[in-house]
């Protein structure tokens, strides 16, 4: 006969009820998919735009990770972050993301390794030298912080080491971790996206020729359809964005009207403008002065909220330029010296376009002021270093000045804006004015739809150098004086992404992964106390609990 008052039976029923409740809860929750990120900065969360991209995949995406082998602690952290991000990608894609790790250094033979490394470099995965100390010896190792992504018979390589080189190695790795989602998602989007945006390169005002922008155009063609465009003779509204790259001749009234109406109708434009006619080709003369271009679009930019000043910026943080400093055996000897007219921009707004960006190389850049424009939000994207100054036109430019000592006290200005993002509903330049002769009267708007404009006071920021020996274009941002590639390419591509994608993948660049290092000074002062707390306190609590429980049981059952 069952004793329903038995304590043992009661405990068994409670256990069975709990087990059934857990099973029912699992069955119910299995019908719903959700992830909970308990970190403060949501480091493991995937942006909604990325999730939508992954959920829309029609076929498997194969990702090969080359960051493998004997890595130091920082690169192991990057490796772990890549794996964690791709695991989230796999889950949200419904197992359509397949990834694996490979070590390029395991190729048999030096020749095979060299061929493999060259092949990865051609696909966009650049190796990085890591120098460490092992057993008191300096050890140098090559690592490949990148991935190769394949989809539908196409593939593309992505380098994931993208932090600001001005920071510490730990900060650079941390910034690279923050960019993993965006870099991988954008590469996948390039391969799977059939709805390509259309970019127009404005021509007709002496803009840079095809060879001078060949590098950035090659990169844009991987993601966009790119066409040359004449402002007054085409339907501009079919273009998702326009790029005006260093014009040197005036804009006609009809061109200005067409551009104005494109912006007022919600168009997106990237202005890359040189205010002064300055060139190193003429800097060998002592009587060379840079004078303003007459582009006749100052009033238009003023109406939209900015003014490019007729000046040039000099900066103590600057790029290099080779000068002849002597002669040996009948051959000139060159020395590279920093040239203040080539500011290295490394101060940015906290914005997806410029977040975690490395330094950008500019040449003969001007300052920008903002003016009142109703309803327009102005974000200063690019700023000079804390040691800079402006020289008003006419500005003397002479390469002989490179040999003169620099007065640091003269560089007293700080954080001069040289690039702005303008967003809002722009007012037409032709509001309450007569329209230009021959301009179409139909569909004219005075106050516009939401639009975006990026204005950078340097036309050369998009220009690639030409290899003098091979006559081939160099990568955009590559400085032959230092063999370093600056972040000009990333800046312009990020800017295009922001202009063409309304709340698109570019939002993934807002991800933050905070470094929370331990205070080494406090550790040194109090490490013994914390060791005692961690080791002795738990034992003391357990012993105390045992004594109290034994005493309580003795009191409870003493009368039996």
Burial class (CB in 10 A: 0-12, 13-18, 19+), 460: buried
Whether the pLDDT of residue 290 is over 80: the answer is yes
Helix or strand holding residue 110 (H, E) = helix 110-122
The predicted model scores a pTM of 0.81
Cβ 384 vs Cβ 345: under 8 Å: yes
Q: What's the pLDDT at 73?
A: 81
Q: What is the mean pLDDT of residues 322-349?
A: 77
Q: What's the pLDDT at 21?
A: 86
In the chain, which residues fall in CATH 3.40.30?
A: 48-190
Q: What's the pLDDT at 264?
A: 94
Assigned token pair, 118: 């060259």
Cα–Cα distance between 273 and 365 in angstroms, integer? 9
Q: What's the pLDDT at 549?
A: 82
* Nearest Cα to Cα of residue 269 among 369, 349, 201: 201
Question: Which pLDDT band, with edges at 50, 70 and 90, does 269 fall under?
Answer: very high
Assigned token pair, 282: 């003429």
Cβ 42 vs Cβ 34: under 8 Å: no
Q: What's the pLDDT at 247?
A: 96
Q: What's the pLDDT at 177?
A: 85
Question: Which pLDDT band, with edges at 50, 70 and 90, does 325 fall under?
Answer: low
Whether the pLDDT of residue 560 is over 60: the answer is no
* Nearest Cα to Cα of residue 390 among 404, 410, 406: 410
* Nearest Cα to Cα of residue 64 among 193, 184, 194, 190: 184
E-state strands within 146-240: 146-151, 154-159, 197-203, 224-230
CA angle 385, 389, 391 (to 5 degrees): 145
Cα–Cα distance between 427 and 374 in angstroms, integer? 8
**Cis ω before 560 (30° cut-off from 0):** no
Least confident among 104-108, 324-328, 435-439, 446-450: 324-328
pLDDT > 90 in the chain, percent: 39
Q: What's the pLDDT at 450?
A: 93
pLDDT > 70 in the chain, percent: 88
Question: Which pLDDT band, with edges at 50, 70 and 90, does 540 fall under?
Answer: confident
Q: What is the DSSP letter of 505?
A: G
Strands of the sheet with 61-65, listed across from one edge: 97-101, 61-65, 146-151, 154-159
Following CA atoms 552, 555, 559, 560 in sequence, which dihedral angle do they give, to the nearest 10 degrees? Answer: 30
Cα–Cα distance between 101 and 67 in angstroms, integer? 7
Q: What is the pLDDT of residues 39-60, one digit of tens each?
A: 666 676 788 888 888 888 888 9
Question: Which pLDDT band, with edges at 50, 70 and 90, does 337 fall under?
Answer: confident
Cβ count within 10 A of residue 327: 9
Q: What is the mean pLDDT of residues 342-346?
A: 93
User: Residues near 482 by Cβ (< 8 Å), separated by ≥ 6?
Assistant: 320, 336
Q: Hey, which residues does 94 pair with through a beta bridge?
A: none
Q: What's the pLDDT at 121?
A: 76
Q: What is the DSSP letter of 401?
A: G
Higher pLDDT, 111 or 381: 381
Higher pLDDT, 357 or 135: 357
Whether the pLDDT of residue 479 is over 60: the answer is yes
Cβ count within 10 A of residue 456: 27
Tell me which fold the domain 198-510 belongs to. Answer: Rossmann fold (3.40.50)
Cβ 487 vs Cβ 360: under 8 Å: yes
Question: Which pLDDT band, with edges at 50, 70 and 90, does 164 fall under?
Answer: confident
Q: What is the mean pLDDT of residues 329-344?
A: 78
Q: Hey, which residues does 336 pair with through a beta bridge?
A: 322
Q: Architecture of domain 48-190 in CATH? A: 3-Layer(aba) Sandwich (3.40)
The sign of the CA dihedral 377, 366, 493, 68 is negative
Higher pLDDT, 462 or 154: 462
Question: Which pLDDT band, with edges at 50, 70 and 90, does 498 fall under?
Answer: very high
Q: What's the pLDDT at 249?
A: 95
Higher pLDDT, 246 or 7: 246
Q: What is the DSSP string of 327-370?
A: EETTEEEEEEEEEEEEEEE-EE-SSTTTTT---EE-SS---EEE
3-state DSSP call for residue 387? coil
Cα–Cα distance between 387 and 416 in angstroms, integer? 10
Strand 417-427 vs strand 376-383: parallel, antiparallel, or unpaired? antiparallel
Q: What's the pLDDT at 19?
A: 85
In the chain, which residues fall in CATH 3.40.50?
A: 198-510
Q: How much is the mean pLDDT over the chain?
A: 85
Q: What's the pLDDT at 443?
A: 83
Angle between helices 488-500 and 214-221 (to 10 degrees): 40
Q: What is the pLDDT of residues 388-401, one digit of tens each?
A: 999 999 999 888 77
Cβ 297 vs Cβ 459: under 8 Å: no
Q: What is the pLDDT of residues 193-207, one digit of tens each?
A: 767 899 999 999 999
Q: What is the pLDDT of residues 85-141, one digit of tens each?
A: 999 889 888 889 999 988 877 766 677 777 777 787 777 787 887 766 655 566 677
Least confident among 216-220, 267-271, 359-363, 499-503: 499-503
Least confident among 46-60, 155-169, 249-263: 155-169
User: Residues near 70 by Cβ (< 8 Å), separated by ≥ 6?
Assistant: 141
Least confident among 6-20, 44-58, 227-241, 373-387: 6-20
Question: Which pLDDT band, with edges at 50, 70 and 90, does 227 fall under?
Answer: very high
* Nearest Cα to Cα of residue 160 among 300, 422, 406, 356: 356
């Amino acid at each position: 006969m069952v004793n329903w008052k038995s304590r043992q039976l009661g405990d068994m029923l409670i256990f069975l009820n709990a087990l059934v409740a857990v099973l029912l809860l699992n069955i119910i929750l299995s019908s719903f998919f959700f992830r909970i990120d308990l970190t403060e900065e949501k480091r493991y969360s995937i942006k909604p735009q990325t999730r939508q991209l992954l959920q829309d995949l029609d076929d498997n995406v194969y990702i090969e990770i080359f960051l493998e082998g004997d890595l130091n602690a920082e690169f192991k952290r990057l490796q772990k972050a890549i794996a964690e991000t791709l695991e989230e990608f796999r889950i949200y894609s419904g197992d359509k993301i397949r990834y694996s790790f490979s070590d390029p250094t395991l190729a048999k033979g030096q020749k095979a390794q060299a061929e493999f490394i060259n092949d990865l470099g051609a696909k966009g995965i650049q190796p990085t030298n890591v120098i460490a100390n092992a057993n008191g010896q300096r050890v140098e190792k090559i690592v490949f912080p990148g991935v190769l992504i394949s989809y539908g018979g196409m593939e593309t390589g992505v380098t994931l080491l993208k932090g600001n080189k001005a920071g510490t190695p730990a900060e650079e790795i941390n910034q690279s971790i923050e960019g993993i989602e965006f870099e991988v998602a954008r590469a996948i989007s390039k391969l799977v996206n059939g709805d390509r945006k259309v970019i127009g390169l404005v021509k007709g005002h002496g803009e840079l020729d095809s060879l001078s922008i060949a590098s950035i155009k090659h990169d844009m063609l991987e993601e966009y359809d790119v066409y040359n465009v004449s402002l007054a003779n085409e339907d501009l509204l079919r273009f998702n964005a326009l790029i005006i790259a260093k014009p040197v001749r005036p804009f006609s009234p009809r061109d200005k009207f067409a551009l104005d109406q494109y912006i007022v109708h919600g168009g997106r434009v990237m202005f890359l403008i040189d205010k002064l006619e300055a060139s190193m080709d003429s800097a060998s003369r002592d009587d060379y002065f840079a004078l303003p271009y007459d582009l006749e679009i100052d009033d238009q930019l003023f109406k939209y909220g900015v003014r490019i000043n007729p000046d040039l910026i000099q900066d103590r943080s600057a790029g290099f330029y080779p000068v002849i400093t002597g002669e040996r055996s009948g051959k000139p000897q060159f020395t590279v010296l920093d040239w203040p007219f080539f500011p290295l921009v490394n101060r940015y707004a906290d914005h997806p376009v410029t977040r975690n960006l490395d330094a950008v190389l500019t040449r003969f850049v001007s300052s920008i002021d903002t003016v009142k424009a109703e309803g327009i939000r102005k974000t200063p994207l690019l700023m000079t270093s804390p040691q800079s100054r402006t020289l008003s036109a006419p500005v003397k430019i002479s390469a002989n000045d490179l040999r003169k000592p620099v007065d640091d006290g003269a560089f007293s200005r700080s954080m001069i804006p040289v690039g702005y993002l303008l967003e809002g509903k722009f007012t037409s330049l032709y509001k309450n004015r007569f329209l230009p002769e021959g301009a179409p009267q139909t569909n004219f708007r005075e106050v516009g739809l939401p639009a975006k404009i990026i204005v950078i006071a340097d036309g050369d920021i998009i220009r690639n150098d030409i290899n003098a020996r091979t006559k081939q274009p160099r990568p955009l941002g590559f400085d032959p004086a230092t063999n370093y590639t600056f972040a000009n390419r990333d800046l312009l591509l990020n800017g295009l992404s922001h202009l063409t994608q309304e709340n698109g993948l570019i939002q993934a660049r807002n991800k933050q992964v905070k470094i929370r290092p331990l205070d080494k000074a406090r550790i040194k002062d109090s490490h013994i106390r914390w060791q005692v707390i961690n080791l002795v306190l738990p034992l003391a609590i357990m012993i105390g609990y045992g004594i109290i429980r034994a005493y309580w049981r003795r009191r409870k059952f003493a009368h039996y």
